[in-house]
Copies of this chain bind each other. A is one copy, B any other.
Amino acid sequence: MEFTASQIAAFINGKIIGDENTTITGVSPIESGEHNHLSFIAQERFADHIYNTKCSVLIVSEKLLTKDSYPVTIIAVEDAYLSFQVLMNLYMEMQGRKTGIEQGAVFHETSVVGENVYVGAFTCVSEKVKIGDGSQIYPHVYIGKNVKIGKNCILYSGVRVYDYCVIGDNCVVHSNTVIGSDGFGFQPTKDGYQKIPQLGNVVLEDNVEIGSNCSIDRGTIGSTVIGKGTKIDNLIQIAHNVKIGENNVIAAQAGIAGSTVIGDWNQIGGQVGIVGHINIGNQVKIQAQSGVNSNTKDGEILYGSPAINAGEYRRNYVHFRNFTEIVKRINNLENNSKDNPNE
């Protein structure tokens, strides 16, 4: 990419201070700017970078600007963070979407592929699969039989979708995530564990994004469901028959055990574990590494393993940190008590 300061200013309705013909060829974080790169400053604490950045153009919030000239070309806007986001989204759109079927992709004759779809080399599309308009399926993806994929989805290289799973519109699934592997269901017998057939599927509703290397197991019977707009990070385990509502964010390496039901707008931290067969309400925040083993109400903030109220956990943990001191105090009390002639 190559843009001039005036082109960029036009996109975001900004005012140029400096040379409008300065060109940029990339973007940098403000802390590690590079020549011919663009960056932005939206907060007072980064304002000094205006004077020492190696970047060639900076988008800066107006409130941080007081002079008539600067050593770097400035684009003044109301909120530099938002304007930078707008720009990055525009840039992503300008990249365009991939289309066309690459040589080496294989399709069962009964599969149905929409308009403007991209299917990469060596991707396998099984019988009765439907792929909606505008979806992009990268190389090396496996799509099992009767899978439905909606419109404008992106499945990156190495994604596996087992038979009968359903993916809504505008979903993104990153590389090597597995959708629809068998739930972990075995019945003990005296000779060993006998497999319980896993006949359900996985349903991703619209606007779901799933990171790389996740495992979303199919329902034993019925569906494992990830609700509309929920975003899932990397290396996450979602067990069979879990139902997750809308607009949740789940951080990396969290795991949710079988049949648990999760509401809307929850924030689940990294490496959190949630046991099976419980209910998590709405707008719950679960701190990283917590282990949740009972139902939670709306708005709770949880921490610890097993998880309790986060404030309570932190207060108790302060005492835990002083435990050696606390035991000394008890020793002293006991010694005093022994010295006490009244006893």
Contacts and interface: CB of A to CB of B under 8 A. Distances in A.
A229 interface: yes
Contacts of A39: 221
Interface string A43-87: 000000000000000000000000000000000000000000100
Range for the number of chain A residues in contact with chain B: 35 or more
Q: How many copies does the complex hold?
A: 3
Contacts of A178: 158, 174-176, 212-213, 234
22 contacts: A92-B199, A104-B104, A156-B162, A156-B181, A158-B158, A176-B178, A184-B249, A192-B207, A192-B229, A213-B214, A215-B234, A215-B252, A235-B255, A237-B252, A257-B270, A270-B273, A273-B288, A273-B289, A306-B317, A319-B324, A330-B333, A336-B343
Interface of A: 27-29, 32, 39, 85, 88-89, 91-92, 103-104, 106, 120-122, 124, 138-140, 142, 156-158, 160, 162, 172, 174-176, 178, 181-182, 184, 186-187, 192-193, 195-197, 199, 207, 209, 211-215, 217, 219-222, 228-229, 231, 233-235, 237, 239, 241, 246-247, 249, 251-253, 255, 257, 270-271, 273, 275, 288-289, 291, 293, 305-306, 308, 312, 315-317, 319-321, 323-324, 326-327, 329-330, 333-334, 336-337, 339-343
